[in-house]
Chain A
């Protein structure tokens, strides 16, 4: 019940295309869903996050779509650029004292010029 399942494992997109990464969770107590971006040799960095009271959050070219009934959320990268090539992790947690983030296994995105 603590898992967060992320797909695909890897993704190749042409420059200017839309990148879509999906995550599914099981624990209905989860109430915080961040996405992290990691470049090679660096630590993961928070990209964008959403709470379940909204169905979508947009920051620049990055959008999180959230479907509470399906227990799924996804990251959309519009107009993908080669500089977006990185590994992306979804995560989920609840706000309680045991609210540590549970991470998906990551998606390696390559954006081809």
Chain B
């Protein structure tokens, strides 16, 4: 594994409640990403970060916010969870250097169910 820890790994929550997923890396990579994976949709980028306090939206950012106060931690928050946010969430890291500059490495995933 690429030194990425996601927590929690599994969570069941109720509609309307806030949820925060945490990604912690030990690789000191500059870039961190949050993806969601759903059947038939593949991997879709939610938000990404290119440095401490530097974040940007991805393809499916509505309903999600992120924060990065330290190089090693990237938090994904669902302010008010909805059933459509039931998904598997993957954190990924990368440093965009060298010949494999755009390679990213994924964590093990966080399974979120909103009931």
Using a CB–CB cutoff of 8 Å, the interface residues on chain A facing chain B are 6, 32, 34, 36, 41-46, 49, 51, 89, 93, 95, 97, 99-101, 103-106
Contact = CB atoms under 8 A, between A and B. Distances in A.
Nearest to A99: B102
A105 B100 contact: no
A100 B58 contact: yes
Contacts of B106: 36, 43-45
A101 B42 contact: no
Given A34-B103, A43-B108, A99 B96 contact: yes
Interface in B67-107: 90, 92, 96, 99-107
B104 A105 contact: no
19 contacts: A32-B100, A42-B108, A43-B107, A43-B108, A44-B43, A44-B90, A46-B105, A89-B42, A93-B102, A95-B96, A95-B102, A99-B96, A100-B45, A100-B48, A100-B58, A103-B44, A105-B40, A106-B42, A106-B43
Nearest to B42: A105
Contact of A49 (B43, B48, B96, B103): B103
Interface size range on B against A: 20 to 34
Interface of B: 33, 40-45, 48, 50, 58, 90, 92, 96, 99-109
B42 to A, nearest CB: 4
Contacts of A100: 33, 45, 48, 58, 102
Nearest to B44: A103
B99 to A, nearest CB: 8
A94 B81 CA distance: 33
A49 B42 contact: no
A46 to B, nearest CB: 6
Given A42-B109, A44-B43, A101 B104 contact: yes
A46 B101 CA distance: 13
B60 to A, nearest CB: 12
